[in-house]
Structure 1
Amino acid sequence: MTQRPAPESTVRGAFGDLLPHLPLFPLGTVLFPGGLLPLKIFETRYLDLVTHCLRTGQPFGIVALQQGAEVRVAASGDETVRFEHAGCLAELIDCDSPQAGILQVRCRGLQRFTVSQIRQAPDGLWRADAVLQPADLAEPPKPEFQASVAALQRAIETLQGRDQVPFLTPYGLDDAGWVANRWCEILPIPLPTRHKLMMLPDPHARLQLVDGFLRRHGIVSD
């Protein structure tokens, strides 16, 4: 997978590329690099965020919720919200407005990051200083994982037959990180586990864990 250039506002530091004031979008899901994320936007804080990103081309950060709701449930905004201090950058790839005050958008996962100096604006939007993490190196899956690669290809063909397209093209079945990430997106695994897999820096280790899950559940075999 080709590594994209960092946003122009990125500051290069001793511990990685820093994105100051990155807007965050806490969700009850995990976005993986190269992943597809459809969103329905109707809250003012996120409508403003998406409008800004459409205008500037800048990404925002998706972080997995640990506690609280995606939508503000208290007018005072004082509900408790906790989320992971790491996530994945998202870029907007298309946007539609089916009715006034609602945006239907699709996002692509870019690069992983960790955050610090988290703060919340009066409008409820979270921001943080983010440090980008190294992207996966594009390396072929090891021979012992070829059964998992073949199973993913069959899963893609089955989903396409049902007019379901959960992955962005081009497909990267020759890329260990891509295969691991796509399995992580569709397997029924707990959200905290999914997050840990996303942040695992070694794509082969990630694929090994996925392969073990598939074998334990009889999805693949030698």
Structure 2
Amino acid sequence: MIRALFPLNSVVLPGGRLPLRLFERRYLDMLTHSLRSEEPFVLVLLEQGRSDTKAEAAFHPIGCDVSVVDFSPLENGVLGITVEGLRKVSVARPWRERDGLNRGDVVPLPEEPKTPTPLRHADLCELLAALCCHTSVAELALGVDYDDARQVGWRLTELLPLAIEQRQSLVEMDDPLERLEVLSRLVESME
């Protein structure tokens, strides 16, 4: 299936929410199409050191289908939206349209297995609960099932202050328990 691609310096995973500010015509048109057709677009991570203003945006091939869950006009013609991750996808063949919008053939990735969060990762659940109490995160109204290792790993991947490449590596993992192990080591190295 063909989807519009929205390259950013951020990630979102299934069930996650991310506030965005749209002001470029290509992305406002993308949003209009998405809302009218009820078709998601794909959020992909820009490669480090790249920007989407160049002739060719370079981004990672694994991203997430997203849908708009809220929007509101801001100052100076900027539109604020909040997107929610639906499912991880692979961008098989990207291209850039004349208007500058990136598109690609998108293939949904297999759903990660729902796996109970092991007791040994109770500290990660506590850390996530503390992060979710922060005002800007609380405003996103994330409903986290702390007994689901996928959700704990996904939310920590989105919320922890990680390097872009670390974040993308976690996005690309398909084993929730492996992701929690890596996150545990990353958190230890931050302390």
TM over 0.5: same fold? yes
1:86 corresponding residue in structure 2:
62
Alignment pair present for 1:45 and 2:26: yes
- Decide which structure has the larger Cα Rg and report it: 1
Does the Cα contact within 8 Å between 2:16 and 2:142 map onto a contact in 1?
no
Matched-pair contact (CA < 8 Å) for 1:32–1:198? yes
Q: Verify: 1:68 aligned to 2:66, yes or no.
A: no
| Aligned partner of residue 106 in structure 1, secondary structure | strand
- Counterpart of 1:170? 143
1:133 paired to 2:109: yes
Distance 1:209 1:167, change over 3 A: farther
Helix, strand or coil at the partner of 1:140: coil
SS at match of 1:88: strand
The CA distance in 1 between the partners of 2:61 and 2:27, in whole Å, is 19
Shift of 1:213: 1.7
1:32 aligns with 2:32: no
The answer to whether the 8 A contact 1:184-1:194 is kept is yes
Shift in Å, 1:163 = 6.2
The equivalent position to 2:92 in structure 1, one of 101, 116, 140, is: 116
Q: Is the 8 A contact 2:131 2:159 kept in 1?
A: no
Q: What residue number does 1:23 align with?
A: 4
The structure-2 alpha-carbon separation of the partners of 1:60 and 1:163, relative to structure 1 and needing over 3 Å to count, comes to: closer
Question: Under a length normalisation based on structure 2, what TM-score does the superposition of the two structures give?
Answer: 0.90
- Offset at residue 83 of structure 1 (A): 0.8
> TM-score under structure 1 normalisation?
0.79
CA RMSD of aligned residues (A): 1.9
Match of 1:75 in 2: none
CA distance in 2, matches of 1:172, 1:138: 11
User: 1:85 and 1:146 mapped to 2: Cα distance?
Assistant: 32
- CA shift, 1:154, in A, is 3.0
Query: Distance in 2 between the 1:45 and 1:153 partners?
Result: 37
Residue in structure 1 matched with residue 40 of structure 2 by the alignment: 59
1:106 aligns with 2:78: no
Compute the displacement of 1:207 (Å). 0.8
**CA distance in 1: counterparts of 2:7 and 2:136, whole angstroms:** 29
- Contact persistence 1:36–1:166 (CA under 8 A): no
Aligned 8 A contact 1:115 1:131 in 2: yes
1:123 Cα deviation from its structure 2 partner: 0.4
Tell me, yes or no, if the aligned pair for 1:197 and 1:206 is still in contact at 8 Å: yes
**Are 2:69 and 2:83, in contact at CA under 8 Å, matched by a contact in 1?**
yes
Provide structure 2 residue ranges, at least 5 long, that are not aligned to the other structure. none
SS across alignment from 1:215: helix
**What one-letter code is carried by the residue in structure 2 that aligns with 1:194?**
R
How much has 1:210 moved relative to structure 2?
0.7
Give distance in 2, aligned partners of 1:55 and 1:33: 22
Q: Which residue among 183, 186, 189 is the counterpart of 1:210?
A: 183
In 2, are the aligned partners of 1:64 and 1:195 still within 8 Å (CA)? yes
| Structure 1: gaps spanning 5 or more residues | 1-19, 73-77
1:189 aligns with 2:170: no
